């Protein structure tokens, strides 16, 4: 089943904007997939035909400030609430009264905010390698990255990250194995070069204003665990077994949300949809099959 791309105008909290989306299986059960920080819709593109074949209409947008979507130049145009509003507005534009929602990393934080704002609209919630509160990263290094972006843009940030001796905290053994084994969604004969190009493409497409705004937004966000304890939406929490930054956070999320299922994806790090795609798909489809008969 083919994956299609198009642009959709939505009425967000702060006005109208265009989002670029990838989708498959029009007419199936609605499913939105929200990527992570400096990610893109292509992070899920490989899985859209499989999800469509299982009876879903999966649609993955580039969030504002990412990929080919609208990217306001004002840092004030970005926070978790605004991005959550964009997802709900996208569902409105699609005519989806109710839908399933999957959010990865930062997208998982956005999905939580959307779920708390409009729980009755969700048929299911999938939270993937994410947190319900402040992200436990080196705050000095995070602040430095914002300064770098404000002074030299995303290109300079990429150079600085590449020069770090310890690399990214999300660079797990699973990620390193992936880079040696098969190419990224961009293709090519050299897997290492393909994944480097994929990461660079997404990084350079991300808005500097978005980056500068969302780093402190994620580090300083309120803890939502107590609020999520009142959520009555079928929920799956997924996390790669090697994602040390978010593994404990995901366990806490699954424990806090009533009836939530925890799925630890073996041989995966922060991006299990890439690093262990078959296991990730199997666990996701098993969960979705269990809620397929619900309204939506």
pLDDT of residue 73: 95
Q: How are strands ordered across the β-sheet holding 99-104?
A: 4-12, 15-23, 56-61, 29-34, 99-104, 122-128, 235-240, 261-265
pLDDT value of position 113: 98
Q: What pLDDT is recorded for position 31?
A: 98
Rama region for 5: left / alpha / beta (φ>0; ψ in -120 to 50; rest): beta
Query: What pLDDT, in 10s, does the model give residues 9-56?
Result: 999 999 999 999 999 988 899 999 999 999 999 999 999 999 999 999
Cβ contacts of residue 186 below 8 Å, gap of 6+? 194, 197, 198, 201
Structural domain span for residue 234: 4-135+219-291
Q: How many domains does the chain have?
A: 1
pLDDT attached to residue 201: 95
Is the CB of residue 60 less than 8 Å from the CB of residue 44? yes
CATH of the domain at 272: 3.40.50.1820
Q: Tell me whether residue 200 is in a domain.
A: no
Here the tokens at position 291 are 């809620």
Rounded distance between C-alpha atoms, residue 188 and residue 182, angstroms = 9
Residue 36 token pair: 């992570």
Query: pLDDT at position 167, please?
Result: 59
For the chain (length 296 residues), average pLDDT per consecutive 10? Answer: 92 95 93 98 96 97 98 97 98 98 98 98 98 93 94 92 68 86 90 92 97 97 96 97 96 97 96 96 96 60
Give CA angle at 246 (199, 101), nearest 5°.
Answer: 75
Q: State pTM to two decimals.
A: 0.95
Q: SS in 3 state form for the chain?
A: CCCEEEEEEEEECCEEEEEEEEECCCCCEEEEEECCCCCCCHHHHCCHHHHHHCCEEEEEECCCCCCCCCCCCCHHHCCHHHHHHHHHHHHHHHCCCCEEEEEECHHHHHHHHHHHHCHHHEEEEEEECCCCCCCCCCHHHHHHHHHHHHHHHHHHHHHHHHHCCCCCCCCCHHHHHHHHHCCCCCCCCCHHHHHHHHHHHHHHHCCHHHHHHHHHHHHCCCCCHHHHCCCCCCEEEEEECCCCCCHHHHHHHHHHCCCCEEEEECCCCCCHHHHCHHHHHHHHHHHHHHHCCCCC
Is 116 a domain residue?
yes
In a domain, 22, yes or no: yes
Residue at 109 is within a domain: yes
- 184 in a structural domain: no
């Amino acid at each position: 089943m083919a994956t299609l791309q198009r642009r959709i105008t939505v009425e967000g909290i702060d006005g109208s904007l265009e989002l670029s989306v990838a989708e498959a299986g029009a007419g199936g059960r609605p499913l939105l997939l929200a990527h992570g920080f400096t990610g893109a819709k292509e992070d899920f593109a490989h899985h859209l035909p499989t999800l469509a074949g299982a009876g879903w209409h999966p649609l993955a947008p580039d969030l504002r400030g990412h990929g080919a979507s609208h990217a306001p130049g004002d840092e004030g145009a970005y926070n978790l609430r605004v991005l959550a509003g964009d997802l709900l507005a996208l569902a409105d534009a699609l005519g989806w009264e109710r839908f399933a929602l999957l959010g990865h990393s930062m997208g998982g934080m956005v999905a939580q905010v959307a779920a708390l704002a409009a729980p009755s609209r969700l048929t299911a919630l999938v939270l993937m390698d994410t947190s319900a509160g402040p992200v436990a990263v080196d705050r000095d290094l995070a602040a430095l990255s914002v300064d770098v972006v404000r002074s030299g843009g995303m290109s300079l940030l990429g150079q600085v990250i590449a020069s770090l001796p310890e690399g990214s905290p999300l660079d797990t053994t699973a990620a390193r194995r992936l880079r040696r084994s098969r190419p990224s969604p961009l293709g090519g004969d050299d897997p290492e070069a393909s994944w480097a190009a994929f990461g660079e493409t997404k990084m350079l497409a991300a808005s500097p204003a978005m980056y500068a705004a969302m780093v402190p937004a994620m580090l300083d966000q309120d803890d939502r665990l107590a609020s999520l304890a009142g959520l009555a939406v079928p929920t799956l929490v997924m996390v790669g077994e090697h994602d040390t930054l978010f593994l404990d956070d995901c366990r806490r999320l699954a424990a806090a949300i009533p009836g939530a299922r925890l799925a630890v994806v073996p041989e995966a790090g922060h991006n299990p949809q890439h690093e262990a795609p078959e296991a990730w798909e199997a666990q996701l489809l098993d969960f979705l099959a269990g809620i397929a008969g619900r309204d939506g």
